[in-house]
Amino acid sequence: MGSRLEEKSKLVRKRIEGHTFEHEGGEEYDGSKFGGFTDYFRRKKIKLQNLDAQLRAQSEDKAKIFKGVVCHVNGYTQPSLNDLHTMVVQYGGGFIQYLDGKTMVTHIIASNLTPKKKEEFKRYRIVKPAWIVDSVNAGKLLPWDAYRVVDEGVGQKVLGFENGNVVTQANRKTQGYKEQTDTSWYTSQLKAKELQRSESSSRKQPSFTQTITPQEEIEDEEWPLPEITSSIERALEEADDFEDDELPESVERSEDALDTTTKLETPPPTSPPPAPADHSVTGRPIPEPEPRKSPANQTTPLRPRQGSQEPDYSMAIVRDSAALRSLSPTRLATMTAEEHNALLLSDPRIRKSTVVHPDFLEQYYRESRLHHLSTWKADLKAQLQALAAEKSASQKREQQQLKMKKLPGQRRYIMHVDFDSFFAAVSLKKYPQYIDKPAVVAHGNGSGSEIASCNYPAREFGVKNGMWMRRAQELCPEVKVLPYDFPGYEEASRKFYDAVLATGGVVQSVSIDEALVDISMICFAQSGTDGVKRNEGGVFREQAKADDIAQKMRDEVLEKTGCAVSVGIGGNVLLAKVALRKAKPAGQYQLRPEEVLDFIGHLEVQNLPGVAWSIGGKLEDIGAKLVKDLRELTKEKLINTLGPKTGEKLYEYARGIDRAEVGDQVVRKSVSAEVNWGVRFENQEQVDEFMHGLCGELQKRLWKEQVKGRQLTMKVMRRAGDAPRDPPKHLGHGRCETVSRSVLLGVATSEQGVLVREAIAMMKSFNISPGELRGIGVQMQKLEGVKVGVGVEGDRELGSQRRLPFKTGQSSKMPVVAKEVVEGSEGEKAAEDPILDDVKTPVKAQRFVDASNLPGVPVRPANPSTPSKRLLNTLGTQFVLPTQVDPSVLAELPEDIRSKLAKLVRPSAPPPPPAKAEAGPAARPLSRAQSPTTIVALPNQSQLDPSILDALPEDVRAEILGFYNNNKSPGNRKRGEQALLPQSPRKVRSVPITKQPLKRKRGAAAQAEGTVDPEFLAALPEDVRREVLAQQRNARLQRAGGIDLSLHQRSKAQRHNRKKKTGDEEAALLERVLVLPPRPAKPTFTSRKLTELPNLREAVRAWFLEFANEGPYEEDVVALGRYLGDVVVEERDVGKAGAVVRWLGWLVGEVGGGEGGGEEYAREEWARGLERIREGVQRAAGERGLGRLELG
């Protein structure tokens, strides 16, 4: 849905909205001329719009819900085209009968499309007719998204948001004729009648099979249609029964802890949790159920953690926000995203909890519960893993000493130990009274909180982990909500692991409450077997031992923690996991080898580890519901369906084979930092600033993990086009589109500066308006470990490659002299470039910029001893000319300065690439002039001052040069070539572009290129020139707010070039346009320039009538004769000439003769004139080699 669509349809919309109709006297009601089909059609369309305008005027009473919508109906629809048309127009929309282009309308209405059209219209808004009907019924414009006809493609996964989590779901849609009839307007009307008859008041909207969001999700949704108005209403309502609702709640809650049954008369919206018995447990922020304050008192700063999860609570904030309340909903709707955010942020309380607040990130990560949970879990896991690894390593060693090496074909005994509803069980220890009642652990009793864990009684009601509280309460109204008890969890987990490790097996921790233990060795030792030989008694003893170990361990854990654990034992990890399912709750089960196939065979595929409903769905498609069905399938089929890895894995799983070893460590693959709550920006600066913070966070984490990465991935969530500006969850992200992009960094890094630079560049490339941003995440991949101890400082220890201390860009000050080669900090400069603000004194400003932009530029009046202080002034100006010329500034400059700049921009011959940096001082200005081409963090190699270089210690010099060499590595080269910049077409470059410059920078470079003089252009080789011009055009387009076609065009250009290289002339020709030479003007008659036959006839007639009585003037006859001759010879329309002559002949013969009053003389004169004209025409015809014309 590009801006192209918007732009064109906006024009059409404006035109339609501005269309008025007064009477039928307009030009459009004239007749059409021959050959004037275009005219005819244009008029037809105007007339159709006239009808619409009238219809619209007649239905002023109807709400203008389709304002801004322009529709076109394609194909058969229900309701009919006519009905839809009337509906759309009556409710303020525009309607286009004839589609000149797909972008003319905002929506195309169709029930079904042919496959070809589906392909064609894929990128347009194709909606079902039900959209119109339902919108009319609902009295407002419903989001069109739910009425899509064309989805993103059948196989494509659709990102959805379910319970606040991003989920991908297969886009499976039923399509067929049934759908249309079922959801059609007529059917629904019929149904409605039936409903009325049966006096059922519950009116249900027809359900739409084409909705991409599953039905449950809608049910789980807090406020399916979050609107400010509703929150205001809510506020008013709540203000009314302030007494009932707000204040007593805290009282109610404490009462409730004592007596849960008395409160049934006024059921609170959610069941409050019992008051915590023990308040001493803190340490970590525990979300204790706080007494809810009335909104009026709610002036304390919002803690995002609470706001993030409790829409109830936060809605109060939004609804109390005077700024929002004072505005009408319509006004809200018309605001831009930025304005909206600004308005939202104008409330200091809200502002405090969004990204705009400087301490946001810190606070966010400190208080975000999700973050807390996950990091805490990870920490604990890492700790325990380390512990387990240490212990098992020593055990392994011992075992190896005992020569108990793993033999091929050996039996294995793997235990999978798992707490039963860990969080719930531990939390319940504090509330033993609920132990046999349904209870769940969640952060609050708000309906929007998510259930972290639930006990078995609750599970019987169908409550599941991860469910929303509201749903859980529907399933089980008396469910108890328990708070988190983090210290308790930690303690329980520790005890659990103690017990697990005590078994003496090889332990692999899966999570805080789950572990895998390989106890084969213990079993063998016990039974005295080697695990390979088939010895009935031995096997039996082994199995008994395994059961024994498990039982002991369970007892121990139960004793220590008071919680039950379940143990599954099997011959491998898979079997252990499967056995665990049977063992639960609070039991143990050993899956014996002889029953493996049977047992697994009767499981549903989704019970296999690693198979959830997405894979399960695919398997069901190919006919496998149970695992034994899976066995029927060939490996190839599975691999084809699921991909090589998963397919093979499942093939083996189905046969009870799992090659995973206990103790296999999963290596961390990525480190990321992501924020998708409270993201509301007003402008780009805030975004950039936030990126700094986020990258700082990422850097911190990378350091903590002692890794650095080579690939930076950025994920951005942007508000979905039709999602409301205020999502149901306060400051949440709502429904979003997620886009991501990766960049491969040349060198592994964890440095904030680099990350920020790349991140901002990527952010720019997304081209998302700041107001639409809802979430930003940065992730580092391709991790490399950092060798600890390389350096001492934080900075140094991160790189195997040492860095020189680089100067940071200080745009407002003269640069400080740096002893070594200096590097401008691109990231900051981009944001603070003073040129943009300081147009009036550009030269001066540019001087500073130049100085800071250009590393190593010897503007160093402070230090005259530096050998490079002298500037070779070849340009006749004392100003240091900037190399990165802002075209807008350039345009403001006087002519002479501009020409100098232009000269500078034109690159001159590059210095020969020096093996070492040996560029003489004379070459320096030239190479500097070239430097805009290589917008890199590094200075051009030729810019290195050799004297400085020589002065450096040997190793540092080697490193500098090494850095350049490193940058020439092929991996970087590829990137450099990709961003082939027009300024330096030569192939030989001393330094290839290494880092992807900021996109804007590239744009700027292209803009600067806008001043390239034609001479230079002409000197370029053909293909380079075309590229330069294309780039310029792109830059222009981008500046003009046009469509960003750069990618498209570049790829096209590349294709073009490639094709040309392969000699495909034709494709190349298609791209060209042959502009035809202008046609010679038609000969015209008289000063009125008549060319058309009717006009000519009219003129001839007037002429004849005027002079009927006195005969034609000689010169007139000659003129007409000459004209007709020209018509024959030049215009080549013998027919026309003949027609005029015949017309004159008829006039002379009939009209003149008929009047009778004409004088004989005049008549003769006319006849003679006619004859002469005839002769002239005949002569002309003869000239063309024609025969005698039949001139009647």
CA 409, CA 532: separation in Å to the nearest integer?
6
Does residue number 1052 form part of the binding site for other proteins (CB under 8 A)? no
Q: Interacting stretch for other proteins, rule CB under 8 A, among 37-45, 251-259, 529-537, 874-882?
A: 37-45
Binding string, residues 882-911; x marks residues near other proteins by CB under 8 A: ------------------------------
When the beta carbons of 922 and 1070 are compared against other proteins, the nearer one is 1070
CB of residue 717 to other proteins, shortest distance in Å? 38
Question: Is 514 a known active-site residue?
Answer: yes
Q: Is 18 in the site for other proteins (CB under 8 A)?
A: no
Q: Does 96 bind other proteins (CB under 8 A)?
A: no
Strand-by-strand arrangement of the 126-127 sheet? 94-95, 70-73, 107-109, 126-127
Q: b or e along 430-443 (b: 16 or more beta carbons within 10 Å of the residue's beta carbon)?
A: bbeebeebbbbbbb
**Applying CB under 8 A, does 1190 fall inside the site for other proteins?**
yes
Kindly tell me which of 277 and 1186 has the beta carbon lying closer to other proteins. 1186
Nearest to 717 by CA among 758, 781, 755, 772: 772
Residue 1094: CB minimum distance to other proteins, A? 15
Comparing CB distances to other proteins, the nearer of 114 and 196 is 114
Closer residue to other proteins (CB): 27 or 1065: 1065
Report in angstroms how near the CB of residue 37 gets to other proteins at its nearest: 4
* 513 labeled part of a ligand binding site: yes
Q: CB-based contacts of 403: which residues, under 8 Å, 6+ apart?
A: none
| β-sheet bridge partners, residue 419 | 565
Among the listed residues 24, 38, 536, 634, the single contact to other proteins using CB under 8 A? 38
Output the CA–CA distances (angstroms, integers) from residue 529 to 406, 548, 1124, in the order listed: 13, 17, 119
Q: With binding defined as CB under 8 A, does residue 31 bind other proteins?
A: no
**Window of 30-38, 49-57, 470-478, 879-887 that interacts with other proteins by CB under 8 A:** 30-38
Q: Tell me the closest approach of the beta carbon of residue 12 to other proteins, in angstroms.
A: 16
Choice between 768 and 1189, CB closer to other proteins:
1189
Residues of this chain, 1164-1183, that bind other proteins according to CB under 8 A:
1181-1182
Residue 100 binds other proteins, judged by CB under 8 A: yes
CB of 35 to other proteins, least distance (A): 5
Q: Which is nearer to other proteins, 723 or 1134 (CB)?
A: 1134
425 with 441: CB under 8 angstroms?
no
Nearest to 374 by CA among 42, 682, 674, 746: 674
514 is in an annotated binding site: yes
| Nearer CB in complex with other proteins: 108/324 | 108
> Which stretch in 33-41, 371-379, 925-933, 1155-1163 sits in contact with other proteins by CB under 8 A?
33-41
Set 246, 367, 514, 1027: catalytic member: 514
| Structure-token pair, residue 617 | 């769905």
Annotated binding-site residue? 954: no
CA distance 380 to 958: 45
b/e 377-390 (16+ beta carbons within 10 angstroms → b): eeebbebbbebbbe
C-beta of 1066: minimal distance to other proteins in Å? 6
Q: Which residues contact 852 (CB under 8 A, 6 or more apart)?
A: 809, 810, 811, 815, 824, 829
Q: What is the DSSP code (8-state) at residue 1040?
A: T
The one-letter amino acid code at 576 reads A
Widest Cα–Cα separation across the chain: 146
Stretch that binds other proteins, among 245-253, 829-837, 970-978, 1125-1133 (CB under 8 A): 1125-1133
> How many CA atoms are closer than 13 Å to the CA of 568, on its beta-carbon side?
25
Pair 778, 698: CB distance under 8 Å = yes
For position 1124 contacting other proteins by CB under 8 A, the verdict is no
Q: Are 317 and 652 in contact (CB under 8 A)?
A: no
Residue at token pair 């470039």: 833
Name the minimum Å distance from CB 1080 to other proteins.
Answer: 9
Among 115, 409, 894, 1187, binds other proteins (CB under 8 A): 1187
Q: C-beta of 114: minimal distance to other proteins in Å?
A: 18
Q: Which is nearer to other proteins, 707 or 1139 (CB)?
A: 1139
Tell me: does residue 1131 bind other proteins (CB under 8 A).
yes
Q: Determine contact, residues 1030/1049, Cβ cutoff 8 Å.
A: yes
Tokens of 605: 């595929």
Query: Residue 497: CB partners within 8 Å, gap ≥ 6?
Result: 384, 387, 388, 507, 509, 515
Using the rule CB under 8 A, give the single segment among 431-439, 478-486, 770-778, 1133-1141 that binds other proteins. 1133-1141
Q: Which is nearer to other proteins, 35 or 1014 (CB)?
A: 35
> What is the distance between the alpha carbons of residues 341 and 343, in angstroms, rounded to a whole number?
5
User: Which strand (E) or helix (H) includes residue 781?
Assistant: strand 773-785
Q: How far is the CB of 1186 from other proteins (least distance, A)?
A: 5
* Contact flag: residue 11 with other proteins (CB under 8 A): no
Task: Pick one of 304, 438, 724, 1138: the residue that binds other proteins (CB under 8 A).
Answer: 1138
Tell me which H or E stretch contains 895: helix 895-905
Please select the residue that binds other proteins; options are 1133, 1146, 1149, 1151, rule is CB under 8 A.
1133
With CB under 8 A as the rule, give the number of residues binding other proteins.
32
Q: What are phi and psi of 739, to 5 degrees?
A: -125, 150
Select from 29, 41, 76, 242 the one that contacts other proteins (CB under 8 A): 41
For residue 363, report the phi and psi dihedrals to the nearest 5 degrees: -65, -45
Q: HSE on the CB side for 173, CA within 13 Å?
A: 24
Among positions 1064-1103, residues that touch other proteins (CB under 8 A) are: 1065-1066, 1069-1070, 1072-1076, 1078-1079
Where in the sequence numbering do the catalytic residues fall?
A: 514
Enumerate binding residues for other proteins (CB under 8 A). 34-35, 37-38, 41, 100, 1065-1066, 1069-1070, 1072-1076, 1078-1079, 1131-1136, 1138, 1181-1182, 1185-1190
Residues annotated in the binding site for Mg(2+), as ranges?
418, 513-514
